[in-house]
Amino acid sequence: MRGHRLRLPAIRAARLVAAAVVAIAVTGTMTAAPALASDAAPYRAQVFTRGYDTAKVVSLTFDLDWRTGTPAENAISKANLETVLRVFAANGITGAFGVTGRFAEQNPAETKAIAALGHKIINHSYSHPDFMTLTQAQRWSQLDRAEAAFRAAGVSSAGWFRSPYRSGYLNAGLNRDLALRGFYVNLDWTFDTTGYQAAGWPVVSSRIDRYTVPGAIIVMHVTTPSTDPGNLQLIIDKLKGMGYGFVSPWQAVTRGLIRAKYLAAGGSASAFGAATTAELDATTADTAVQWFQRGRIYYSPASGTHFVWGAILAKYRSMGTVTSLLRFPVTDETAGAAGGWYNHFQGGSIYCLAATGSHEVHGAIRAKWLALGAEAGFLGYPRTDETKLTGGRGSQFQHGNVYWAKGAGAHEVHGTILAKYLSLGGMSSRLGAPTSDEFSVTVGRRSNFGHGAIVWNATARTISVIYY
C-alpha cells in the first residue's frame, strides 16, 4: 500500500506532461492486431485523445470520484456537481462524466441525475486504482463492479472507459483487456485544466490557450479542492471567445455520413443510444460500420448509409452481417404491413413480425414473393429462411410456400393444394417441383408440377392428383 501511495504523485505529474501531447490524433500508436472477420468486435478499445471533429469544437468532460469524507467536504463536492450541471444547462452543453463505481454506490441519485440530463456516463473504474498495477482479472473486476453500481443507479456506461490517472491509456495490453470485457471506447482527453490541483484562473486560462485544438476533449474535476466548477463559466466564455463551439461526447465519437444518419434519427435520445465502438471498416477501407447500444449504422459507396437494429439486426448478425449473402443494407428499417418491419439489403431482405420472427428472403424466391405483393400479399410474412430442398429451394410464408428449381423457376403453392402437396412429400415426392403458380380452371384451381398436377374441385370439394 505504501508503494502504491508513493506512485500517485508521479502519476499525476505525468498527466501534465502527457497533456501537452495534443498532436496525438484519435488513436494512439499500437502494435497491429490480428486480422479479424469484417464487422467483428474490435480487437482493442479505441483511444480517443480527441474527437473526430476537425472544425473548431471541443467536448467538455469531468471526472467524478470521492470517498466518504467529512460532512463539510462532501457538501462542497456535491455543491460543485450542482454547479457544473447548472452551468452546462444554462449554456446548452452536453458533457461527459467519468464516474467511479464507489461514487455511484454512495450517490445513486446524483449519478442518475447526470444521465437524466443527457450527459454521458463513463466507467472510471470502481475505486480509482492505477490499472497498470492490476492483473487482467483485477481490471475486469473493477469494470464489472462499477457497471453493477451504475445499473443499481439506473445508468450505463455503454462500454466507455477512462483510465484513472491516465495510467496506461495507450497500452496495447490494457486496451485489449478492455475490449475483451466489451469496452470498445477509451475516452481519454487532450488536456487537463489542472483545476484538481486548485489551479487559479490564470493557469487554467493559459492551458486553454496552449492546448485547445479542433476536436479537443477537455478534462476537469468536480471534487474539492478543484477550481473547475467555479471556473466553468469562465472556461466556456473563453472558448467561445476563441471561436470554439461545443459538441457532445456522444457526437465526438461519430463522424461523416454515419454521424449525419445518427443525428437524423435523434442521436443519443434515439433508439440507438450511445455509440459503443469507434467507426470501423465494415469490409474494406472504403466502407464503414459503427455499433451503437441498440443498433448499427452501415455505409458503402454502393449502398449508402443505413441502419439496422432490433430483431432484424439479431437475424442479420446471425447470418454474418456484411459478409453474408445479404451484404450491405440499402434501406433503413421500414414499417411493413400488419405491424411488421423489414430491411432490404444488397442481396435480399429480412422481414420481421412478432408472430413469425425475423427471416431472410433472397434470390428468385424473393422476386416471386415481391411480385405477389410481399408481406402485404396473400402469402403474408416469411416464417422460415430459404431452405435447401430435394431438387431446389423453398421458403415458407404465413399462408403458403414459394419453391424454386433449376429450369422451373420460382412458384407459389398455397391452401388445399399445398396441404396435399406436402402430404405427398413436397419437392421430394413423385410430383417434383412446381412449374406454375396456382391458377383457375373450369372445375376450380390447379397447380402444375414437374411430373403432374394437383387439382382442387370447388364444386365437389375434392382434391385430385394427376401424374405424367
Alpha helix (H) residue ranges in 154-227: 172-180, 201-211
pLDDT score, position 14 = 38
Question: Final residue of a domain: which of 361, 390, 423?
Answer: 361
Distances (CA, A) of 65 to 202, 222, 230, 332, 413: 26, 8, 18, 41, 66
| Cα–Cα dist 113/196, whole Å | 23
Are 347 and 459 contained in the same domain?
Answer: no
Instruction: Give residues with Cβ within 8 angstroms of 225, minimum separation 6.
Output: 196, 198
pLDDT score, position 66 = 79
Are 109 and 241 contained in the same domain?
Answer: yes
Residue 455 region by backbone torsions, left for phi larger than 0, else alpha for psi between -120 and 50, else beta: beta
Q: Write out the H or E segment, with its range, that includes residue 348.
A: strand 348-353
Q: Is residue 54 helix, strand or coil?
A: coil
Are 30 and 151 contained in the same domain?
Answer: yes
Q: Record the cell numbers describing residue 114, joined without a space.
A: 447526470
What sign does the dihedral 46-47-53-54 (CA atoms) show? negative
pLDDT score, position 142 = 98
Which candidate, 53, 123, 112, places its Cα nearest to that of 85?
112
Are 140 and 31 contained in the same domain?
Answer: yes
62: exposed, middle or buried (C-beta count within 10 Å: 0-12, 13-18, 19+)?
buried
Torsion angle of the four alpha carbons 275, 238, 188, 277, in this order, in degrees rounded to the nearest 10: 10
220-256 tens-digit pLDDT: 999 999 999 999 999 999 999 999 999 999 999 999 9
| Cα–Cα dist 12/23, whole Å | 20
Are 240 and 186 contained in the same domain?
Answer: yes
Which regions of the chain are under pLDDT 50?
1-31
* CATH assignment at residue 99: 3.20.20.370
Residue-range definition of the domain harbouring residue 280: 255-361
Cis ω for the linkage preceding 225 (within 30 of 0): yes
Number of domains in the chain: 3
Are 159 and 75 contained in the same domain?
Answer: yes
Strand partners, 467: 452
| Cα–Cα dist 244/57, whole Å | 5
Question: Final residue of a domain: which of 252, 279, 314?
Answer: 252
Are 225 and 302 contained in the same domain?
Answer: no
Are 248 and 273 contained in the same domain?
Answer: no
Are 242 and 112 contained in the same domain?
Answer: yes
Under DSSP, the state recorded for 40 is P
Are 247 and 277 contained in the same domain?
Answer: no
299: exposed, middle or buried (C-beta count within 10 Å: 0-12, 13-18, 19+)?
buried
| Cα–Cα dist 53/25, whole Å | 11
Are 330 and 301 contained in the same domain?
Answer: yes
| Cα–Cα dist 294/280, whole Å | 17
Residue 66 Cα to chain centre, angstroms? 31
| Cα–Cα dist 141/339, whole Å | 43
Question: Final residue of a domain: which of 361, 392, 414?
Answer: 361
Q: How many helices (H) and strands (E) would you count in the chain?
A: 13, 24
Is the distance from CB of 364 to CB of 382 less than 8 angstroms? no
Are 154 and 289 contained in the same domain?
Answer: no
pLDDT score, position 17 = 37
Q: Record the cell numbers describing residue 270, joined without a space.
A: 434515439
